[in-house]
Structure 1
Amino acid sequence: METVKNIAEKLKVTFQPSDWTLALTTDQRVGVQKLVSSWQKRIDQEKYIQAQHTEKIQFDTSFKHQPEDLVAGIDEAGRGPLAGPVVTAAVIFSDYSKELVGLNDSKQLSRIKRQKFSEIIKKHAAAYYIHIQSVEKIDTLNIYEATKDSMALSVSNLSIQPDILLVDAMTLPTTIRQHSIIKGDAKSLAIAAASILAKTARDDIMDEFDKIYPEYNFAKNAGYGTAEHLTALKQFGATGIHRKTFEPVKSMIR
């Protein structure tokens, strides 16, 4: 009879049901049953993640008129904060590496996983571009128009031009065929990839601003109007990266 330790080691490298795993379900040892239950949950989770990945690819592919059409996903990070830029990204995939499995809406991933996927996306994308829209531009145009402008620049600066744009909840001023997708980062692999690139880039920027303005803890709140951030605003006033057209900053600088 196999030891529980040996079974545990074998299950770590077992990815498909077999006669052996079926036999384990009849093993009366409590330790073995816990291992089998844990292994089955892992397998089911991996199948679910793979199914989601396939659905996202099929969603993107469904917009192609020709198999060789290139689809770009476009998304943003930072429309809501009181401070810092809005960052947008555009991503094109011409094929799909297994390393992309598990790529999801940036809001659904931890910062560590976003950083990991950011590197994977840059490695496997046929093209990508990240655009940083300044606070000054946001205050001049308004946040909606500034985001739209930034997204358009993300697309126009791609090293290869796409045939179709999938844009997260936005319509861009372009002649390229496009589709505005509500909650696109949960449906499209390309949009999800763009959301990760935009979010990781913006987080890195806010980390740098945190060193310049440590009182506001931008590394933690990313410029959003948390209670801690609002308290710092009242105590120290607005900085050069605060959006002057956003309340309560607008009222504070009158």
Structure 2
Amino acid sequence: MQMFVGGIDEAGRGPVIGPMVMAIVVVDDMNRLRAMGVKDSKELSPTGRARLFSILKSTLNYMDYEVIEPGTIDNYVYMNALNILEVEIAAKLINRALSNVSPQVVYIDSPDPKPGRFRDMVKRGVEGNVEIVAMNNADKLVPVVSAASIVAKVVRDSIIEELHREYGDFGSGYPSDPRTITFLRDWIRRHGDLPPIVRRSWSTVRKLLSNNLDRYL
């Protein structure tokens, strides 16, 4: 009997600019992924990710992803529920996969330090019979999750390239990037507010907006 195994991972949870992307992939042979050299996307160069993504598109039995925009992320952060957002998106991705290829087991990279708790929440949202395995560092340990991390990262990077063309060079979009902070500060100075690609719930942004407001009081 053919065994379909799924993997889920995200890209872009931490940046202050741009969306988060969560991806699911399903494969019937994880050894094939190992032979391809699939590993956590963070351990690959952009060229290496692009090369593997191209191969994965013709190798995987199934691939899907969700793009979560900054406004949605903000809503969940304000409720202190970013992990709940990942739970809901993971369940949605699994439900769509079940109606296509019916994976018997799905591995998920858990953002919760208690993976069992994360697994139980995802399971409640899944409308089908599938084993859910949540693990910390699954993107490094399970090839099918590594493949999902590559898909999520490549999709997000292509979105970030588009945003650079539209809004200018904001660097990596991470709060630790000086180019990102300079972009945000300059944008607030010129426009008095922020573009819709920015996550307003991040402390970095709240601080910049607060400092800008103080200048006019």
Q: TM-score, normalised by structure 2?
A: 0.78
Match of 1:241 in 2: 197
1:82-124 alpha-carbon deviations (Å, 9 max, x no partner): 0111101111111354795211110111001101111111111
Task: Select which of 70, 75, 81 maps to 2:9.
Answer: 75
Task: Select which of 177, 182, 206 maps to 2:136.
Answer: 182
TM superposition shift of 1:141: 1.9
Question: Does 1 or 2 have the higher relative contact order (CA < 8 Å, sep 6+)?
Answer: 2
* Alignment of 1:224 onto 2:174: yes
Match of 1:18 in 2: none
Task: Select which of 148, 157, 166 maps to 2:107.
Answer: 166
User: 1:248 is aligned with what amino acid?
Assistant: T
Counterpart secondary structure, 1:76: strand
- Paired with 1:98 and 1:236, the residues of 2 have a C-alpha distance of 43
Q: How does 1:51-70 map to 2 (within 5 A)?
A: 68-70=2-4
1:159-207 alpha-carbon deviations (Å, 9 max, x no partner): 2221211000153233632111111111111000000000000000000
Task: Select which of 95, 102, 114 maps to 1:156.
Answer: 95
Q: How many residues align?
A: 184
- Paired with 2:51 and 2:33, the residues of 1 have a C-alpha distance of 14
- Paired with 2:47 and 2:169, the residues of 1 have a C-alpha distance of 25
- Paired with 1:184 and 1:98, the residues of 2 have a C-alpha distance of 15
Aligned-residue identity in percent: 27
1:52-94 alpha-carbon deviations (Å, 9 max, x no partner): xxxxxxxxxxxxxxx6332111100000000111101111111
Q: Is the contact between residue 34 and residue 143 of structure 2 (CA under 8 Å) also seen in structure 1?
A: no
Counterpart secondary structure, 2:202: coil
Match of 1:24 in 2: none
Q: Is the contact between residue 33 and residue 143 of structure 2 (CA under 8 Å) also seen in structure 1?
A: no
Task: Select which of 106, 112, 119 maps to 2:54.
Answer: 119
- Paired with 1:128 and 1:69, the residues of 2 have a C-alpha distance of 16
- Paired with 2:35 and 2:155, the residues of 1 have a C-alpha distance of 19
- Paired with 2:135 and 2:57, the residues of 1 have a C-alpha distance of 23
TM superposition shift of 1:213: 1.0
Counterpart secondary structure, 1:186: helix
Q: Is the contact between residue 71 and residue 164 of structure 1 (CA under 8 Å) also seen in structure 2?
A: yes
Q: TM-score, normalised by structure 1?
A: 0.67
Match of 1:37 in 2: none
Counterpart secondary structure, 2:89: helix
Counterpart secondary structure, 2:203: coil
| Unmatched segments (≥5 aa) in structure 1 | 1-66
Shifted more, 224-233 versus 106-115: the winner is 224-233
Match of 2:152 in 1: 198
* Alignment of 1:146 onto 2:85: yes
Shifted more, 88-97 versus 140-149: the winner is 140-149
Shifted more, 75-84 versus 127-136: the winner is 127-136
Shifted more, 243-252 versus 84-93: the winner is 243-252
